[in-house]
Structure 1
C-alpha cells in the first residue's frame, strides 16, 4: 500500500491566512514574504496589466491608486448565492470559488516550494459557525470551502474547528486536567470553545460562535464616525412640495462593509448619488460621497478606519481616522469613549456568546483555569474586557494570537 503524503495545515481567514506543516516535531510556518508568516486574504485585479495580485501586493496596488478592482473578506461570502454567480473580471468570467481557489493554490505552491514536497492533502481550519447556529447556509459554507480547496489542487480536504486547533497549539496536550477557554476573534467570526486536557488529548466540552469579528468592528466604527461626513443622517429636499426626507442608509451600510464595496462602483449608483447631491441640504457631504465613488476610494477609507481603530485601542488618547484621500484635512475623531460606544452592541453579543458556551459545557466561569486568545481582533480591549469580567480568576494568555490556529493545524495534521 502506497504511503500517504504529508498534510498541509491551512487557515484561510477573513482578513489573513497562514499555512504550516510539522517538521522535526515542531510546526513550521510557510513564509509569505520577507519576515511574514501570514498573507492578507486580498485580491487586486489590475485593469492595465490584466494580472491578479494577491496579499500585500494587492494591498499596495490599492494604496498606489492603480486602476483595478480590490476584494477582501471573501470568506464571508461562503454559503451564499454570490459564491457561484459568474462575473466578468479582466478577460474572463469567474466565480468566487475560482477566485478563492487561486488564492489557496498560491499558498499551496509556496508551501510545496519551501517544503520540497507535494501537498495533496489539507487540514483546514473552519470557524465554529460561518453564519450562525441553525443558519441554513452553514452546510453550504463548508461545502463551498471544500470546493475551493479541490479547485486549488488538493485531493483530500478535512476540517478542524479553529478553536480546537488553537487549544492544541497552546500546549493543552501536555496540561492534563486543565480546563481552558479559547476565545478566537477573527475577521468575520468570534468562536468560543471550552476544552479539558486529558491523557488522550484535547476533549472539547463545547463549541459556540457568533458571526461578528474584526470587520464588524470596523463596520460599526465606519457607520457611526465616518459615514456622517459623507451624508449619512442628512436630509433631502422633496421633489414636490415642502418638507424633507432622509438620505437612504443602504449605500452607507454597503460602503462600510468590506465585501460589498466593489459592487458600488456602477454607473447606476453614481447617477443615484449625483441626484442626491442636487436634492441635498448639505451638498458638501453628499459631494464627498460622489467623489469617493467616482475615484473608487471605498477600500482606502476602510483601511483608514482599521488603522484608526487600532490606534484608538492602543489607549493613547483620541485617535483620528484620516480621510485625506477624499478631501484634504478631512478626518473623523475616535476618542476611547466613542470606540467603546461604537462597539457596545458587539460587546454584549460577545458576552452572551461566552455565557452560552459555558452553559453548553455545563460548567461555571470559576471552573476555567486558562483563557487563550486567538486572532488579531482578540487584541481589542473590548474583547478582553468582556472575557475578564466573566472569568476574572482565570489566567489570560495572548501568545501567538496570529498563528496559533495554523500551528495547531500543523500538529494535528501530522497526528491524524
Structure 2
C-alpha cells in the first residue's frame, strides 16, 4: 500500500488515499499526529528494540553484525536494570513525554531527533545511533498505521527540508549535510519495512495540499515553518498545473534553513526563563554574568550544547559560579535542573507559552516541576523581542525565494505550527505588504501533500 510519511521535527504523521481523499491514520492512540519524541529506560536498549523489530533475512543479519557492540551493551543494561524480556523499555510520542516528565533523571529522552540528522562532523557511531532512533520511531509509527488500516505499507514519500542545516554554510558542506540526513532517513525507512522510498521538499508538499482548492492559476509563495527548519518555495499553481506529473517547471525558487519553531522556543526560554536560574544575576566581582552555560542549557537542538551542559566540567563550573554569585540560590536552581535533566522540560514550557500567546496577550508559565510555586508571566511583546533574530532569518528566506523566482507572489500560503503566531503573521505583513496571506491545516498540509504525491508517482 502507498502512503505519505511526514517524519517531522515536531510531529509524525502517515497518510493514505481513500476514495480520492487523503486519510491521515491514527498513530498515537486515536491521534493522527505523534510528537517526535522517544524515551528508553536505557540508551543502549534503542538499538535492541530496532533489532527485534526487523524481520528475519539479510537486512536483519547485516544490522545485527553492524551493531554487535551496542547489542552486547544492551544485554548488560538489561541485567543492571533488572528488566524482564517482556517488559516495555521504549516509548514514543505522548508516552515518551509522560515517562520523561515523571522521571527525567532516569532513562534516555530525545525530542525532535530530525534536528540532529544533518549535524556536521558526526562520527560513524553517532550516525548509527541516530539511525537507530529514527528507525525505532518509524517502525512504531508504521506498525500503528498498518494496524489502523489493516494493510501493509510498502511504498512511501517522505518529506525533507530544503536544507537540514543552515543555508549560511558552504554549498559543499550543505550538500554533505543533506546527503547524511537523507541516508539516515533512507536506512531507517528500509529497516521499517518500506520497499520503495522517495523524498519531496516539504514546502512543495504543503503547496500541493493547498493547490487543491485553487480555482485560478496563481504564483504562490509557500512558507513551511516547521519545528526544525523553515522552507520556502515559489510555485505556479492552479487548474492548469495540478494535473501534471512533472512539475519541475512550476517551481520557480526555493530556500531553506535550520531555523524553526524549536529555535523560537529556545530563544523564549533563554530570554524569559533563564533569568530565573541566574542568567542575569550579579556576580560578587561586579562583572556581568557569563551567559554561555545558561544558553547551552536550553539549546536542545544542538548536540554540542547538550554535551557541554551535561559534562563534568560544567558541573564543576556551576559549583564555582554558585560561590561567585550574589544570588547563589538561583544558580542552585540551575544545578538542580541539570542534575534532574529537566532542560528539555523547560523548553517544552517555553513552547507551551509560545502557543498560548497565539491566542492571548500574556500567559503564566508554571514551573512547579522545578520548584514549588515557581512561575513567571510572559507578554506577547516579550515573545516578539525574544524571537526577533530567528524571525528575521525566516523573513530573509521568504525574500530569497521570491528573488530567485524574479516575480512577486500573488498569494502567500503559510503552514507549520508556529505559523499560527500573530507575531509571525505581523512580520510577514510588514515585509510583503498587502499580498494576501492564507493558511490551511498548520499540521496536516505536508502529510497530505506527501500522500497525494506518493499516489501520483507510484500508481
Partner of 1:240: none
Partner of 1:68: 107
Partner of 1:90: none
- Aligned 8 A contact 1:181 1:193 in 2: yes
- Note if 1:204 corresponds to 2:238: no
Partner of 1:380: 421
Distance between the aligned counterparts of 1:400 and 1:62, measured in 2? 29
Structure 2 counterpart SS, 1:289: helix
Distance between the aligned counterparts of 1:218 and 1:390, measured in 2? 23
Distance between the aligned counterparts of 1:176 and 1:413, measured in 2? 25
- Aligned 8 A contact 1:236 1:247 in 2: yes
Structure 2 counterpart SS, 1:170: helix
Q: Equivalent of 1:102, from 124, 136, 152?
A: 136
Structure 2 counterpart SS, 1:353: helix
Q: Equivalent of 1:11, from 1, 6, 14?
A: 6
- Note if 1:302 corresponds to 2:344: no
Distance between the aligned counterparts of 2:214 and 2:358, measured in 1? 34
Partner of 1:249: 291
Counterpart mapping for 1:58-207 below 5 A: 58-65=96-103, 67-80=106-119, 86=125, 95-133=129-167, 134=171, 135=174, 136-172=176-212, 175=215, 177-197=217-237, 198-199=240-241, 200-201=243-244, 203-207=250-254
Q: What is the CA deviation profile of residues 116-138 of structure 1, one whole-angstrom value per residue up to 9, with x for unaligned ones?
A: 32223221001112113322423
Distance between the aligned counterparts of 1:148 and 1:281, measured in 2? 50
Counterpart mapping for 1:192-271 below 5 A: 192-197=232-237, 198-199=240-241, 200-201=243-244, 203-236=250-283, 243=285, 245-259=287-301, 260=303, 263=307, 264-271=309-316
Count of residues paired in the alignment: 397
TM-score, with length taken from structure 2: 0.80
Gaps of 5+ in 2: 43-80
Q: Which has the higher strand share?
A: 1
TM-score, with length taken from structure 1: 0.88
Distance 1:86 1:249, change over 3 A: farther
Partner of 1:41: 36
**Alpha-carbon shift at residue 340 of structure 1 (Å):** 1.0
Partner of 1:51: 89
**Alpha-carbon shift at residue 85 of structure 1 (Å):** 5.2
**Alpha-carbon shift at residue 77 of structure 1 (Å):** 0.8
Structure 2 counterpart SS, 1:258: coil
Q: Equivalent of 2:404, from 352, 360, 363?
A: 360
Distance 1:298 1:96, change over 3 A: same
Q: What is the CA deviation profile of residues 287-333 of structure 1, one whole-angstrom value per residue up to 9, with x for unaligned ones?
A: 11111122222122112111112222323x32222222222222232
- Aligned 8 A contact 2:6 2:447 in 1: yes
Distance between the aligned counterparts of 2:144 and 2:129, measured in 1? 23
Bigger drift between 284-293 and 73-82 goes to 73-82
Partner of 1:412: 453
Q: What is the CA deviation profile of residues 370-412 of structure 1, one whole-angstrom value per residue up to 9, with x for unaligned ones?
A: 3222111111222211222334444332221111111111111
Structure 1 counterpart SS, 2:233: strand
Distance 1:247 1:155, change over 3 A: farther
Report the aligned-residue RMSD.
Answer: 2.4
Distance between the aligned counterparts of 1:188 and 1:61, measured in 2? 23
Q: What is the CA deviation profile of residues 83-108 of structure 1, one whole-angstrom value per residue up to 9, with x for unaligned ones?
A: 65547xxxxx9611111111011112
- Aligned 8 A contact 2:281 2:326 in 1: yes
Distance between the aligned counterparts of 1:404 and 1:294, measured in 2? 39
Partner of 1:331: 375
**Alpha-carbon shift at residue 271 of structure 1 (Å):** 3.3
Distance 1:85 1:246, change over 3 A: farther
Distance between the aligned counterparts of 1:410 and 1:288, measured in 2? 47
**Alpha-carbon shift at residue 246 of structure 1 (Å):** 4.7
Structure 2 counterpart SS, 1:304: helix
Partner of 2:64: none
Gaps of 5+ in 1: 1-5, 88-92, 238-242
Distance between the aligned counterparts of 1:178 and 1:172, measured in 2? 12
